[in-house]
C-alpha cells in the first residue's frame, strides 16, 4: 500500500467568469521512505499539489488516499486531525512563535493533540536533540540564527511522528551555506527512515531528493528518479548523538 496515492486529482478555481485549472487529472503514488522534490515554474500547479498532499486544500475531482485513509471527502475537522497526526510541515518563513522558547514551539502540535505536559516535554526534547539543538531549548527565535530557527521548525515537524515531512521552500530565506546545512539535515532524516516531500524552484535543492516531479500546466510533465546523492555526510558517517551540521551562526 502506497503512503500517498492520488488518482485523477483535479483542482479548479473560479475567478469571476474564468475557471483556473490548477491541477489536471494528476495520478501519483509515493511510497513510505521516499525523498521526493516537487518542481515547477510559477503557476505550474506545484503549490496546489503540495496543498492537496498536505490536506490544506481539497480536490475538485479525483481520489486521495493517505496512509490507506481516503481524505478526499473529509470535512474540515477531519482534515485538521489528519494534518496534525500524519503530516509535519516545514515552511520557508519558519512560522515560529517569537516570544516562546524553542521547547515551547516544538511542543505546540502536541498541545493540540492532547498529549500530557510531561510527555510533550520528553518528545519535544527528543525532537530538538535529533536536529542538534539540545543546548538551545530555552532560546527564543529572536535569539537564534536563521539556520537554528529552521531546525526548530524541523523539530516541530518531527515531534508528532508524522508519516510525511512536507517542506515548502525550506531554504528560501537562508543564505547558501546555511541552506546547505539544512539540506544535509534533511538527507540525514531521510536516511533515518523519514518520508520527505520537498517543494522547491531550485535545481540544486531538488538534487538532494531521490525523485523529482516536474509540474507544468497542472500536470506531471516528468517523473525522474535519481541515484542517491553522495556527499560524504550521511547518517552513518555522522553517527549517533551528532547533528552532523556543526555550529550554525
Rounded to 10°, the helix 146-158/176-191 angle is 20
Instruction: Give 87-117 pLDDT, tens digit per residue.
Output: 999 988 889 999 999 999 999 999 988 899 9
Instruction: Calculate ∠ Cα 59-63-66, nearest 5°.
Output: 95
Contact 88, 55 (CB under 8 A): no
| Separation of alpha carbons 43 and 28, rounded Å | 20
Q: Which residues pair with 164 in a beta bridge?
A: 87
Local confidence band at 139 (pLDDT 50, 70, 90 cut-offs) = very high
Q: What mean pLDDT comes out for the span 5-29? A: 94
Using the predicted structure, report yes or no on whether residue 232 has a pLDDT greater than 60. Answer: no
Q: At 74, is the pLDDT very low, low, confident or very high (cuts 50, 70, 90)? A: confident
**Which domains are assigned to the chain?**
34-47+76-238 (3.40.50.300)
Given a cut of 80, whether residue 173 has pLDDT beyond it is yes
**Under a CB-based contact definition with an 8 Å cutoff, are residues 178 and 147 in contact?**
yes
Average pLDDT over residues 68-81: 88
Query: What's the farthest any 2 CA atoms get from each other in the chain?
Result: 58
Say whether pLDDT at 211 is over 60. Answer: yes
In this prediction the pTM is 0.84
Amino acid at each position: 500500500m502506497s503512503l500517498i496515492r492520488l488518482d485523477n486529482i483535479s483542482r479548479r478555481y473560479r475567478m469571476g467568469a474564468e475557471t483556473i485549472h490548477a491541477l489536471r487529472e494528476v495520478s501519483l503514488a509515493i511510497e513510505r521512505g521516499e525523498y521526493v522534490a516537487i518542481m515547477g515554474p510559477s503557476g505550474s500547479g506545484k503549490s496546489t499539489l503540495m496543498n492537496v498532499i498536505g490536506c490544506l486544500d481539497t480536490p475538485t475531482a479525483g481520489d486521495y488516499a493517505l496512509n490507506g485513509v481516503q481524505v478526499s471527502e473529509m470535512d474540515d475537522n477531519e482534515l485538521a486531525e489528519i494534518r496534525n497526526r500524519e503530516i509535519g510541515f516545514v515552511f520557508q518563513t519558519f512560522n515560529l512563535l517569537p516570544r516562546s522558547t524553542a521547547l515551547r514551539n516544538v511542543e505546540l502540535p502536541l498541545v493540540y493533540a492532547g498529549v500530557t505536559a510531561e510527555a510533550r516535554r520528553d518528545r519535544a526534547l527528543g525532537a530538538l536533540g535529533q536536529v542538534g539543538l539540545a543546548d538551545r531549548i530555552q532560546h527564543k527565535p529572536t535569539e537564534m540564527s536563521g539556520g537554528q530557527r529552521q531546525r526548530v521548525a524541523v523539530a516541530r515537524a518531527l515531534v508528532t511522528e508524522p508519516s510525511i515531512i512536507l517542506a515548502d521552500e525550506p531554504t528560501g530565506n537562508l543564505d547558501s551555506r546555511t541552506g546547505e546545512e539544512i539540506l544535509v539535515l534533511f538527507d540525514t532524516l531521510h536516511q533515518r527512515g523519514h518520508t520527505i516531500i520537498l517543494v522547491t524552484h531550485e535545481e540544486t535543492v531538488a538534487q538532494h531528493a531521490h525523485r523529482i516531479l516536474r509540474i507544468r500546466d497542472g500536470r506531471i510533465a516528468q517523473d525522474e528518479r535519481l541515484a542517491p546523492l553522495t556527499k560524504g555526510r550521511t547518517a552513518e558517517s555522522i553517527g549517533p548523538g551528532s547533528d552532523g551540521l556543526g555550529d550554525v551562526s
